[in-house]
Amino acid sequence: MCFVGLLFAALTGLVFKEGLCYVFAAIKFQQPIKDDIGDKSVFTFNALPEADKDALIKKLQKKMMAYLIQPIEDMQ
């Protein structure tokens, strides 16, 4: 009898999840492409010369490492 309850809960969750996915997919299907692009920073990055791309990547890597090391230093 317990199996029936677990199965019902699993199937109910699956139905809600899939239902929401189809609802959002239906909305995206009707959305114009220009509104669907989202984060345009990718296009800005790709338009940069290679030297600027490399410099930006190094800058972001340093920033990320500083962000990751900060919590470790706070714990000590």
pTM passes above 0.75: no
Under the banding of pLDDT at 50, 70 and 90, the label for residue 42 is confident
| Joined tokens for residue 54 | 């490399």
User: Do the Cβ atoms of 45 and 55 come closer than 8 Å?
Assistant: no
Q: Tell me what pLDDT residue 39 has.
A: 67
Tell whether the model's pLDDT for residue 1 goes beyond 70: no
Q: At CB < 8 A and 24+ separation, what contacts does 45-51 make? A: none
DSSP assignment, residue 4? H
